[in-house]
Structure 1
Amino acid sequence: MEEEDEENMEQDPNHNHWPELPNLPAASSGYGTCTKRCDSGPGKALLGLTGNSTSKFLMNVITLEDYRTTYWPKLDSAIEQLLTQSPGDYIPISYEQIYSCVYKCVCQQHSEQMYSDLIHKITSHLESVSQELQASSPADYIEKFNLALAQYMGALHSIVPLFIYMNKFYIETKLNRDLKDDLIQLFTDHVAEKHIYSLMPLLLEAQSTPFQVTPSTMASIVKGLYTLRSEWVQLAPTLFSKFIPNILPPAVEAELQDYAAQDQKLQQELAQNGFTRGDQSRKRAGDELTYNGSSSCAGTQSYR
C-alpha cells in the first residue's frame, strides 16, 4: 500500500514546486478528515483505490504507537536537518517520502499530535538558538543574529510545504490559523523578543559608524525585524526608515536644514575613516574631456 500511495504522489526532482492540494470535499471535523474521504469519490481516486481495496486501506491503520516509533522519528530527523543547515546548503533527504509520511498521518487522524510534536521540536531548537546568542560577544552579536534569522526563515521554505496537508486539514480548519504564521511567531517569541533590546543599541551604534556592519546585513536584520513585528519600528524609526519605505512622515521645508546637517556629519565621519571624495584633479580632467568631446561633436555637426 505504501508503494501504491507514493506512486500517486506528484514528483518534483528539483523540489522547487510542490503538488497542489487535491480538490477534496470539505471536512466534517477539524482533523482525521482524510480517512472519511478515502471511502469514496476523490479520496479513492487520489489513493488509487476502488472496491475492496478501500476496505483494505482502512484496515491498515497507523496506531499512535506506530506514529511515535516509525513516522514521527522520520519527520523529526528531517526537521532537524532543515533547521540546522546553512543557507544555500543541500540536505540529502527524500522530500517525497516525508511529504507522503505527513499525508498518511493526517489520513489516520494524527494531525493534532503531529502539530504538537512539530511545535515542541521547533520551540526547543529556538530556545537553543537564543541561548547561543546570549553567550555571544557584542562584536559577533549582530552577525550571529542575522545568521540565525536567515537560517530559520530558509528552513521554513521547506518545512511549511512538507506539512501542507496538516496545515490544510487541521490548522486552518480546526485552529483557524496558518502554519507559516505560527512558526514565524515562534521565532518572534523565543528569539527576537528576548534579544531585541540588546540588539537594537548595537544596530544604532553600527549605524552611526559607517561600514562597521555591511549594508546587506543591516538591511536583512531590519527587514526581518519588521516582518516579525512591525511595532518595533517605534524603537528606532530613523533606522527602519533607511530600509523600509514610508516609515517616516513626508519631509517638510523646516527640516531641510537638519537633513543637510546630518549629511555633512556623515561626510565628516567618512573622511575620518579614510574615505575621501576622490581625486578632484582627475574629475576635472574628465570634465574637460567630456567638454572637448562635446565641442568636437558640435564642430563636426556644423561642418556637415
Structure 2
Amino acid sequence: MDEPMESSFDAGDTAQHHREFVLDQSHTPNAILNNQNAVVANTDSALTNPENCKTDCAVEDTSYSKTHTCFTPLLRPGSMVMMVLTEEDYETQYWPKLKTAIDQLLNMKPGAYSPISYEQMYSCVYKCVCKQFSERLYNDLLSHLSTHMEYLNSELKSCGCESIPFIEKFSFLMHQYMQALSGIVPIFNYMNRFYVETKLKSDLNEELKKLFRTKVVDAHITVLLRFLEEVSAVPFAISPPTMASVVKNLYALNKDYSKLNPGLFSRYLPNILPPTDPALLEQYAEEARRYQAHIANMSEFRSRGSSSKRVFEDDISVN
C-alpha cells in the first residue's frame, strides 16, 4: 500500500488559477481551452460537493502541473485497513465459525476426512489477529479445548476398572486428538506466528499437546500404566500395534513417563534401560531363565506330548 502523501492542496487557489488561465484566450488553442474549462468546472464541483472529487478528476489535464492533482482517498471503504472488527462481530461471527470447525476436527474419527474450508478459517484468524484480537482468540481456543478435555476424562471414567476397554478407549481418544491438532494448528498458524511465537515465546502445537498432557494423561497415567502392565502378561490381549502406539505416544508427550515403568517402555522403545554391564552377566542369565520358566508354565505354550508329530496331522506315505 502506498504511503499517505502530505498535500497542501487549496481548491480555491487552484480554481482562481484556472480562471485566469482561461481568460487569456489569445495564447491558448481551442482544444486546450476547452480542456481547461472542463477542469475549472470539475474544481468548482469539488468545492461544492467533495463526494464528486474522485469522479470529476477523471478528466486529465496534461498541461497542468502534477503538484496540483486532485487528492483521492488512499484507503477505500471495504479494504482490510478500513474494516472495523468489534467485539460483537468477533463473538457473533468470527469465533462461532472457528469453534464449529474445531469441534468438527475434534470429533472426527481417526482416518476420516472433514470438509472444512481451511481458506475461510485461516481468513477469520488473519482478520482477528490484524484487529488486535490475538490474545482473546488464543484464550478462547485454550478454554474451548479445556472443555473438550473434561469430556475426554468423562469418557475414560466410564470404562471403570476394566483394563482392556480402558486402554482401547485411551488409545482411540489420544489418536483422535493428535489427528485434530494436525488440522487445528494450520488454521491458527497466523496467530501462532505473530502472537504465540513472538509474545509468548512458545509454539501452538506444543501448547496444545501440553494441555492434553496436563488435563488428561497426568490424571490417568498411574492407572493406565498398571493396566498396560497387566495386559502385557497376556499375549495378544491388546493388539501389538495398539500397545506400541500408546507407549510411543506417551513417550512423545513426556519422556519422564518412561521412568514410571522402564521395563514396560523398554519393550517398545530403544535406549530406555541403561547400557549392558558385563559385570551383571550372571544377573541377566538368571532373568532369562525366569522368563523361560514363566513361558513354559503358560497353558498356551505347554507341550502336547513327547511325540514330534503335529496335532491333527495325517500320516503321509513316503512310498
TM-score by length of 2: 0.68
Q: Distance in 2 between matches of 1:73 and 1:120?
A: 14
Alpha carbon RMSD of aligned pairs, Å? Answer: 2.4
Unmatched 5+ stretches in structure 2: 4-72, 311-319
Instruction: Establish whether residue 163 from structure 1 lines up as the match of residue 225 from structure 2.
Output: no
Instruction: Establish whether residue 73 from structure 1 lines up as the match of residue 100 from structure 2.
Output: no
| Structure 1 counterpart of 2:95, one-letter code | W
Q: Distance in 2 between matches of 1:163 and 1:132?
A: 27
Which of 131, 136, 147 does residue 159 from structure 2 map onto? 136
Which of 190, 193, 208 does residue 218 from structure 2 map onto? 193
Unmatched 5+ stretches in structure 1: 1-37, 41-49, 283-304
Describe the shift of the 1:276–1:129 C-alpha distance in structure 2 as closer, same or farther (beyond 3 A). farther
SS at 2:257 equivalent: helix
Which of 120, 124, 135 does residue 112 from structure 1 map onto? 135
Q: Distance in 2 between matches of 1:230 and 1:151?
A: 21
Instruction: Establish whether residue 206 from structure 1 lines up as the match of residue 231 from structure 2.
Output: yes
The residue number in structure 1 matching 2:114 is 91
- Which of the pair has the greater relative contact order for Cα pairs under 8 Å at 6+ separation? 1
Q: Distance in 2 between matches of 1:39 and 1:243?
A: 60
The residue number in structure 2 matching 1:273 is 300
Q: Deviations over 1:120-142 (max 9, x none)?
A: 01000011111110121314100
The residue number in structure 2 matching 1:300 is none
The worse-fitting range, judged by mean Cα deviation, of 152-161 and 134-143 is: 134-143
Q: Distance in 1 between matches of 2:159 and 2:209?
A: 23
Describe the shift of the 1:268–1:39 C-alpha distance in structure 2 as closer, same or farther (beyond 3 A). farther
Q: Distance in 2 between matches of 1:87 and 1:276?
A: 42
Task: Choose 1 or 2 for highest CA Rg.
Answer: 2
Q: Distance in 1 between matches of 2:232 and 2:253?
A: 21
SS at 2:212 equivalent: helix
Q: Distance in 2 between matches of 1:188 and 1:254?
A: 40
Q: Distance in 1 between matches of 2:219 and 2:258?
A: 16
The residue number in structure 2 matching 1:301 is none
Q: Deviations over 1:171-197 (max 9, x none)?
A: 111111110111001111111011111
| Structure 2 counterpart of 1:258, one-letter code | E
8 Å contact 2:75–2:82 — kept in the other structure?
no
Q: Distance in 1 between matches of 2:2 and 2:194?
A: 17
SS at 2:198 equivalent: helix
The alignment-based identity, stated in percent, is 45
Describe the shift of the 1:280–1:68 C-alpha distance in structure 2 as closer, same or farther (beyond 3 A). farther
Q: Which runs of 4+ in 1 moved over 3 A?
A: 50-56, 274-277, 279-282
SS at 2:109 equivalent: coil
Which of 199, 222, 235 does residue 260 from structure 2 map onto? 235
Instruction: Establish whether residue 100 from structure 1 lines up as the match of residue 127 from structure 2.
Output: no
8 Å contact 2:77–2:83 — kept in the other structure?
no
Describe the shift of the 1:39–1:58 C-alpha distance in structure 2 as closer, same or farther (beyond 3 A). farther
TM-score by length of 1: 0.71
Instruction: Establish whether residue 182 from structure 1 lines up as the match of residue 207 from structure 2.
Output: yes
Instruction: Establish whether residue 257 from structure 1 lines up as the match of residue 285 from structure 2.
Output: yes
Describe the shift of the 1:276–1:74 C-alpha distance in structure 2 as closer, same or farther (beyond 3 A). farther
8 Å contact 2:156–2:166 — kept in the other structure?
yes
Q: Distance in 2 between matches of 1:249 and 1:54?
A: 67
Q: Distance in 2 between matches of 1:107 and 1:204?
A: 51
Q: Distance in 2 between matches of 1:276 and 1:160?
A: 55
Q: Deviations over 1:196-215 (max 9, x none)?
A: 11111111101111111111
Q: Deviations over 1:231-284 (max 9, x none)?
A: 111211010011111000122323331342244145326x5126879x9668xx
| Structure 1 counterpart of 2:300, one-letter code | N
Q: Distance in 1 between matches of 2:105 and 2:256?
A: 29
8 Å contact 2:75–2:81 — kept in the other structure?
no
SS at 2:80 equivalent: helix
Q: Distance in 2 between matches of 1:256 and 1:77?
A: 56
8 Å contact 1:39–1:54 — kept in the other structure?
no
Structure with greater helix share of residues: 1
Describe the shift of the 1:60–1:184 C-alpha distance in structure 2 as closer, same or farther (beyond 3 A). same
The worse-fitting range, judged by mean Cα deviation, of 255-264 and 203-212 is: 255-264
8 Å contact 2:105–2:180 — kept in the other structure?
yes
